[in-house]
Structure 1
Amino acid sequence: MTRLLRIARTVVQRLRGASRRQLAGLAIGLLVAVGVAVSSVIGQAALATCLLASLLAAVLAGVIHLSRRLVRFSRSTQDAVRELRGTVDQLQRRVIAAVEKERLAAGDRHLELMEALARTERLTARGAEVLLHEQSREIEAMFQLFRAVSPRAPMPAGGVLHPTDLLGLVHIARERRPGLTVALGCGPSTVWLGYAVGAGGGRLVAVEHDESRAARVRTRVAEHGLAAVEVRHVPLAELSVDGRTADWYDVDALDGLTDIDLLVVDGSLTPAAPDPLAPALHVLGRRLAPAAAVVVDDEPARVAPRQGGGFGLTVRRRLPGRWTALTHPQAASASSTV
């Protein structure tokens, strides 16, 4: 009994999952089976035979229909498998191509990295050698500076100027022994230049447009007792040079500066950048002494032949550090005989 109940429960569960067509076919089959059984019981053999034949025909038609559906399903499955296989093959080829491309790119990057490392090693070794050479040169320049100058107070730091730059200024001042030196822009170099100019009996006028900086440099000059150094505060004013206007020192405040033997133009301290030499020669060029020299840093010295030619400053001479000296030919020959 329990087994029959289990079978009945299983049949009911399967019937719940059947479709309407399946339920209708099952119902018709049951009716025909019942009709066959009833016909057999009442002695209607011909009717039972007809019903049984109809049932067999229906079963055969169902089997044929099911086989056709299975064939179509098999074909669609095979088509899906072929399509999936093609997709997988195409995806595999793409993956292989991408992996090969990345492998080649990784190889190229590896070569570039190795070349960059080798180049960096060479540059590092060369840079260390250059840095060591520059440091040695600056130390030598510092020793030469203190052999040339005996300070009476602690010397200020060079600021943007290195010891080789300061050595260039001190060297040309000691070499030429100028009577009047004018420096456009002042800073720590003013003290060093003041010692060199004062040792030759000359006078230094440092022109500065920044009042606070001029006051600081004036205090340092006083600490060192450089009586031959004058720090002059000159405000800026508009100046026209070759049809162009620029902010430069007030020309009226530079009166009295004549027969200048040495003119120093430091592009890092003077206005009218990036070409501070043009206004300097425009205003002070006619006030230079016949054998005067103009000392300028490298950047404006690139255009110096054009600007200085009108005043006869045609001889260029490299000084220690960043400086270039522009002089008259007769001044150059005279300095070479000293």
Structure 2
Amino acid sequence: MSRLRKLNRRQAGLLAAAAVLCAADAASALTGHLGLALTVLGVFLCGVLGGLLLLARRLTGLLGAHRAAQRDVRQVLDHTQRRLLGAVEEMLLTAGDRHRELVDTLAAQQKAAANGTDRLLRAQTGEIEALVQLFQGFTPRAPMPTSGGFALNPTDLLDLVQLVRTRRPRLVLELGSGTSTVWIAYALEKTGGRLVSLDHDPGYAEKTRAALAAHGLTEVAEVRDAPLRPVLLDGRSFPWYDTDALADLREVDLLLIDGPPEKTGPDARYPAMRVLEDKLADAATVVFDDAHRHDEQAALRRWMETIEGLTQEGEAPGRHAVLSYRRMVRQLTPQ
């Protein structure tokens, strides 16, 4: 009964017609009308045969549609599979290239780190060796101020002290005071000579004076306050040391340019040679600290181009450059 309820109108009509034919055939046979019964049976069988043919045709159509759907699905699957395989292959190739790039990058970074570590160790070893040599040359009478950072490194200090020992300057002018002031003063105490240091920072200048006093070097070195004032050069204004602090200085044999600090402005140390050339002795040595920095390199090039008699003495150890100055004397030819 549940299946009969699920039949549609067409199916119910066909079933009712078949039932009527069966009933008519049975009634004809029971009433003795065999011809009519055979006729009804023939009609029924023809209907059944027609239905079977229609069903076969319908099933053939459905089978064809199913096969077409299968072909479409297979084509879609094949296309999808090819695209998926292509994408996977591309991803694998990209991943392989990326892997090689990462391996090469890591190898390069490891090599650079190893080289950097090696250079750092060599540099540290060099600084330790220079510091040992410094203390072997002098016996400080008080704790020495620290080197490095804003102060000169031991390598630079050792070369600077060696210049004082070998060239025996009578007057040393230092731009910027600190650790180097004490070391230079100890060297001058042995060779004979005088040191004048300028500092724009009163607090730092007082700290250096206290260090000189603690080491008993006030007879050899002095620190002068020299606040930064505008200096006009080449149409530009530079903050530089007050020139009044230099008024009494003449015949400077060794000039150490270690200030003003970089933070005071661009090209902070460029005015030094332009302002102090007339203060130098006819033959003088110039030590230029932090010569590896961009502004200092630019200043050095401009000095070499514009100041006659100024030459660079090879390659110095550490961060400084050593320059030699010889005053050019022009002889006047008679008219």
What TM-score do the two structures reach when normalised by structure 2?
0.79
AA of the residue aligned to 2:323: L
Most deviating of 128-137 and 177-186: 128-137
Aligned to 1:327: 324
What is the alpha-carbon distance in structure 2 between the residues aligned to residue 95 and residue 288 of structure 1?
Answer: 81
State whether structure 2 residue 180 is matched by structure 1 residue 189.
yes
Distance change (3 Å), C-alpha of 1:29 and 1:239: farther
State whether structure 2 residue 275 is matched by structure 1 residue 283.
yes
Most deviating of 319-328 and 90-99: 90-99
What is the alpha-carbon distance in structure 2 between the residues aligned to residue 271 and residue 260 of structure 1?
Answer: 27
Distance change (3 Å), C-alpha of 1:254 and 1:18: farther
SS at match of 2:146: coil
Task: For structure 1, list consecutive stretches of 5 or more residues without a partner in the other structure.
Answer: 1-11, 332-338
SS at match of 1:226: coil
What is the alpha-carbon distance in structure 2 between the residues aligned to residue 162 and residue 240 of structure 1?
Answer: 32
What is the alpha-carbon distance in structure 2 between the residues aligned to residue 268 and residue 253 of structure 1?
Answer: 15
State whether structure 2 residue 236 is matched by structure 1 residue 244.
yes
Aligned to 2:310: 314
What is the alpha-carbon distance in structure 1 between the residues aligned to residue 136 and residue 259 of structure 2?
Answer: 28
SS at match of 1:328: strand
Task: For structure 2, list consecutive stretches of 5 or more residues without a partner in the other structure.
Answer: 329-335
* CA apart distance, 1:29: 2.4
State whether structure 2 residue 205 is matched by structure 1 residue 209.
no
Most deviating of 231-240 and 151-160: 231-240
AA of the residue aligned to 2:125: S
Aligned to 2:17: 28
CA shift digits 1:20-60 (9 cap, x unpaired): 43233223322333333344444555554444344333322
What is the alpha-carbon distance in structure 2 between the residues aligned to residue 175 and residue 270 of structure 1?
Answer: 30
CA shift digits 1:258-315 (9 cap, x unpaired): 4322221126835565534421123222222222222113232565253155443422
Over the residues paired in the alignment, what is the CA RMSD in angstroms? 3.2
SS at match of 1:66: helix
AA of the residue aligned to 2:255: L
State whether structure 2 residue 287 is matched by structure 1 residue 295.
yes
State whether structure 2 residue 248 is matched by structure 1 residue 259.
no
Question: Does the CA contact (< 8 Å) of 1:313 and 1:326 recur in 2?
Answer: no
Alignment partner for residue 300 of structure 2, among 295, 301, 304? 304
Aligned to 2:332: none
SS at match of 1:315: strand
* CA apart distance, 1:145: 0.8
| Higher fraction of helix | 1
What is the alpha-carbon distance in structure 2 between the residues aligned to residue 80 and residue 30 of structure 1?
Answer: 38
Alignment partner for residue 78 of structure 1, among 42, 67, 70? 67
* CA apart distance, 1:119: 5.1
What is the alpha-carbon distance in structure 2 between the residues aligned to residue 13 and residue 128 of structure 1?
Answer: 89
SS at match of 2:270: helix
Question: Does the CA contact (< 8 Å) of 2:230 and 2:238 recur in 1?
Answer: yes
What TM-score do the two structures reach when normalised by structure 1?
0.79
